[in-house]
């Protein structure tokens, strides 16, 4: 896992049907679940490892279970230009 501090980009919006959207600076919207929004929000100024540790402390999963989940979500957020 990289040690670089992550930065959020874009914004979270609620669609008319109540679903959550993450919208990047190119105005592309991505329908996401609440868990993804929590991870996106936690990315501001933290490393991927710090996000994983924080989530592990909040949940019943251990760090080794959380790390690959966070890594996959952060990679997808980067690909969608929602995290750098």
Asked whether residue 4 is domain-assigned, the answer is no
CA distance linking residue 2 with residue 74, whole number of Å? 11
Question: What CA–CA distance (Å, rounded) separates 16 from 14?
Answer: 7
What is the domain-level CATH number for residue 70?
Answer: 1.10.10.1150
Residue 84 lies in a domain: no
In a domain, 2, yes or no: no
pLDDT digits (tens, 9 = 90+) for 5-63: 999 999 999 999 999 999 999 999 999 999 999 999 999 999 999 999 999 999 989 99
Alpha-helical regions (H) of the chain: 34-42, 48-58, 63-79
**Per-residue pLDDT reduced to its tens digit, 62-72:** 999 999 999 99
């Amino acid at each position: 896992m990289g040690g670089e501090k992550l930065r959020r980009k874009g914004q979270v919006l609620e669609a008319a049907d109540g679903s959550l959207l993450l919208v990047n600076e190119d105005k592309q919207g991505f329908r996401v679940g609440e868990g993804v929004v929590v991870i996106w929000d936690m990315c501001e100024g933290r490393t991927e490892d710090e996000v994983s540790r924080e989530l592990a402390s909040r949940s019943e999963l251990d760090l080794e279970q959380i790390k690959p989940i966070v890594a996959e979500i952060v990679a997808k957020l980067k690909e969608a230009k929602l995290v750098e």
